[in-house]
Amino acid sequence: MWYYVRDNQRIGPVDEGTMSSLIQNGTVIRQTPVWKDGMQDWAQAAMTELQSQFQSVPPTLPAYAGLTTYAPYPAYYPPGSFQSLWLWFAWLVGAGLPLCLVCIGIVPLIAGVVLSYILLYRFWGVIQDGRARTSPGKAVGFCFIPFFNFYWIYVAIVGLAKDMNVYCDERRLAGPRAGEGLALAWYILSLTSIIPYLGLLISIAVTIIWIVLYKQFTDVAERIAAQKAM
């Protein structure tokens, strides 16, 4: 009887036939941690006796195969590209918000918001493996749907933190992780920032958390990009 990990949860036991079906439908991939009685520790499925079953399963296409970020495979971004965009985002948003008090911060603030959506698109693009909860295009595009976006921002930001962590955990990528609690706090505060008068103070906290949270996303994305570049 086998056990496997999905969404940071141990699932099982499942018999050999069920495990074969999970491999064929893509639920269990080569990098999925698995364990069965007699094994000393968890191991990637492809490193166990299940290895032969992956021969009939097509491998993930490489990033250079002309895939777009809408395809269910990770997009390739050069290491360092996330960091440079985040620095511009942090400077523009960080400077634009206080300068709005004298009406000259609108332009840098708008530029910072545009960069935030570019980063969001790339964050989702780098973890596309066929199991991410949304595509990069939907993650950004649905944020502009009136009223529905109050819900969708939760998916795009909090869901991103969860999916990024799952992506790294399933591949045993060492390094930073996105703060799911911080993402949830940002989402809640963003909703309450519409409160008159009090919303101004909340907006300052939202901006600070936004910059810090995007730094966490950037660090995770850079780790993924570095691993793909090896």
Total number of domains in the chain: 2
Residues 88 and 146 in one domain: yes
For every residue of 128-175, DSSP letters joined together read -SS-SSS-HHHHHHGGGSTTHHHHHHIIIIIHHHHHHHHHHHHTT--S
- C-alpha span between 115 and 101 (Å, rounded): 22
Residues 42 and 99 in one domain: no
What's residue 59's pLDDT?
56
> In this structure, what DSSP letter does residue 230 have?
-
- Residue 224: domain span: 81-229
Q: Determine, yes or no, domain membership for 71.
A: no
What's residue 100's pLDDT?
59
Tens of each residue's pLDDT in the chain, 230 residues: 899 888 667 888 888 888 888 888 778 888 888 999 888 888 888 888 888 888 765 555 444 343 333 344 445 677 788 999 999 999 888 886 666 556 665 788 889 999 999 999 999 999 988 788 999 999 999 999 999 999 999 999 999 999 999 999 988 888 899 999 999 999 999 999 888 777 778 888 999 999 999 999 999 999 988 887 76
Residues 136 and 31 in one domain: no
Q: Determine, yes or no, domain membership for 143.
A: yes
Q: Determine, yes or no, domain membership for 219.
A: yes
Confirm if 26 and 4 have CB atoms less than 8 A apart.
Answer: no
What's residue 97's pLDDT?
66
Q: Determine, yes or no, domain membership for 74.
A: no
Residues 20 and 86 in one domain: no
Indicate the pairing of strand 2-6 with strand 33-36. antiparallel
Specify the pTM. Answer: 0.66
What's residue 73's pLDDT?
46
Residues 109 and 209 in one domain: yes
Side-chain-side CA neighbours of 227 within 13 Å: the count stands at 17
